[in-house]
Amino acid sequence: MSSAAAAAAGPSADTADAAADAALAAAAAAGDGPALAAALAAGGDACAPGPGGAAAEAGSLECVRMLLEEGAPWNALDDEGYCAGDYATASKERSVIELLMDWGVSCEQLLGAAGRAAAGGGASPSGSGGASASRPPGGAPAPNADYLSQRLVYDGDRLLDADGEAVMMGWELPLMVEHAKEICARGGDILNVGFGLGLVDEEIQKHSPRSHTIVEAHPDVHARMLELGWHTRPGVTILFGRWQDVLPQLLARSFDGVFFDTYGEYYEELHEFHSHLPKLMARGGIYSFFNGFASDNAFFHLVYGRLIQLELQRLGFSTEFRRLQVDTLGDDHWRDVRTRYWRWPWYFLPVCRLGGGGGGAAAAAEGEEGGAAVA
């Protein structure tokens, strides 16, 4: 009801709406489908911040589906900062988790397609708010052009931008060890997009690839690479520029392993990069990326994992996620860093194989946890 109509109707309309909302909240918390339907018919607000989470916590597939179909946002947060998916996960009701996961993926696919169409195929921000291929994943990253014009600071085992945001930090080393192990499992020719601190590139070198190509766009990072002598290492080729700009040179090659970890780019840039992977990679090759999407909410993070898994499946890749433990990162790790971009004691490392089948370290290592962690 519009505000004008409500004013004309008088206080009784407000009272009726409040009663319908209260009935809706009670029905959602009880997981009572018929009562929820009645409350919606009476004018209860499906988009209010509480009912979706309450229905998910109650484990009611019927109520959650009804609210979603009435327009409740799958990613709405309540006053405590939790979404319906968080409550469904806590209640361990698998059917509700799957419904919300599938709904979220479908919404993100539609929003992404609409954004690309509106931009003529260009990038657009995600509908879930703040998910980015760059650090800090939970915040709003700087546009790539602005980032590339900023002065960066190497501060021990941290690389910071002009705003104090972390481009990369040393705590990621154990993750990069595993990323390198996966993409180098076949040997051959390896591509890394985004040098940063050089953590993954140092690990790639330990696997003695036939060739090692590094794409780096930021002039300060490129200067650092030259200072450290990366251009003199046997088999190493440095391409200075945005990956979009050096793409013709990359497409002239065929890589056995690829890693993607850029800063200041959105999910849409990753989506675009993925579209080129079948031409960039040899069949059976292994692809991976820094999996930092929506890291301020565990359920949103898993939705993005599923979204990427399906996206890559359409391109001919099979994707599994290895669950790795992350050391506790106390406040000292984040001193003088503007955004704390990782909060979880785990990390889902993506292993993506062109053409499916085995061939990666995750498949070969006995006893390691594999499979689709976002399933």
Domains, the chain? 20-111 (1.25.40.20), 168-354 (3.40.50.150)
Candidates 161, 167, 174, 241; CA nearest to 197 is 167
**Mean pLDDT, rounded, of the chain:** 87
Q: What is the pLDDT of residues 269-327, one digit of tens each?
A: 999 999 999 999 999 999 999 999 998 899 999 999 999 999 999 999 999 999 999 98
Percent of the chain whose predicted confidence (pLDDT) is above 90: 74
Helix orientation angle between 298-314 and 84-91, rounded to the nearest 10 degrees: 100
The confidence score (pLDDT) of residue 121 equals: 53
Note whether 353 and 186 are within 8 A (CB). Answer: no
Q: What is the mean pLDDT of residues 332-348?
A: 91
**Whole-model pTM?**
0.85
Burial-class residue 5 by CB neighbours within 10 Å (0-12, 13-18, 19+): exposed
Decide if pLDDT at 330 tops 50.
yes
The confidence score (pLDDT) of residue 331 equals: 87
The confidence score (pLDDT) of residue 146 equals: 86
Note whether 242 and 269 are within 8 A (CB). Answer: no
Across 30-39, 145-154, 366-375, which has the greatest mean pLDDT?
30-39
Encoded tokens for 70: 């009435």
Contact partners, residue 176, CB within 8 Å, separation at least 6: 199, 200, 203
Contact partners, residue 294, CB within 8 Å, separation at least 6: 128, 130, 131, 137, 138, 300, 301, 303, 304
The confidence score (pLDDT) of residue 135 equals: 46
Candidates 300, 332, 349, 259; CA nearest to 103 is 300
Note whether 24 and 40 are within 8 A (CB). Answer: yes
Candidates 359, 349, 350; CA nearest to 282 is 359
Q: How confident is the model at residue 20 (pLDDT cuts 50, 70, 90)?
A: very high
More confident residue, 167 or 121: 167
Q: What is the pLDDT of residues 31-69, one digit of tens each?
A: 999 999 999 999 999 999 899 999 999 999 999 999 999
Decide if pLDDT at 3 tops 50.
no
Q: What is the pLDDT of residues 63-116, one digit of tens each?
A: 999 999 999 999 999 989 999 999 999 999 999 999 999 999 999 999 988 888
The confidence score (pLDDT) of residue 70 equals: 96
Helix orientation angle between 298-314 and 94-118, rounded to the nearest 10 degrees: 60
More confident residue, 14 or 306: 306
Q: How confident is the model at residue 27 (pLDDT cuts 50, 70, 90)?
A: very high
Q: What is the mean pLDDT of residues 133-146?
A: 50
